[in-house]
Amino acid sequence: MRCGVVRLVEGAHRDGRIELLGPAPTASETRVIVTFLTDAGGVDLAERGIGPEQAADLRSRLKPFDEDWQRTDMDAYDAL
């Protein structure tokens, strides 16, 4: 499978149809990948083999990057 730029748009599955909650990133016809989220509240870490101690370690190691990830100018990287 060949993959180009990935753009994310949140949506909802209702009555067998996918409804976008925001505008589509392109006006032309394009391919999509739909991922169904079972719980919008978070990720089941235990299901992925990550225990509480490992999760705490990951959070502490990734915390220094949080401020950068939340900056609005980082959206420019979505277009790469």
Alpha-carbon Rg for the chain in angstroms: 17
Structure token digits, residue 48: 């992925």
Residue in the block written with tokens 């909802």 = 12
CA separation for the pair 5, 61 (Å, rounded) = 28
62 in Cβ contact with 54 (< 8 Å): no
CA separation for the pair 50, 45 (Å, rounded) = 5
Q: Which residue has the higher pLDDT, 74 or 19?
A: 19
pTM metric for this prediction: 0.38
**Residue 76's CB: how many other CB atoms inside 10 A?**
8
The 10s digit of each residue's pLDDT in 3-56 is: 667 788 888 888 889 998 888 877 678 888 888 876 656 778 888 999 999 999
With bands split at pLDDT 50, 70 and 90, how would you rate the model's confidence at 80?
low
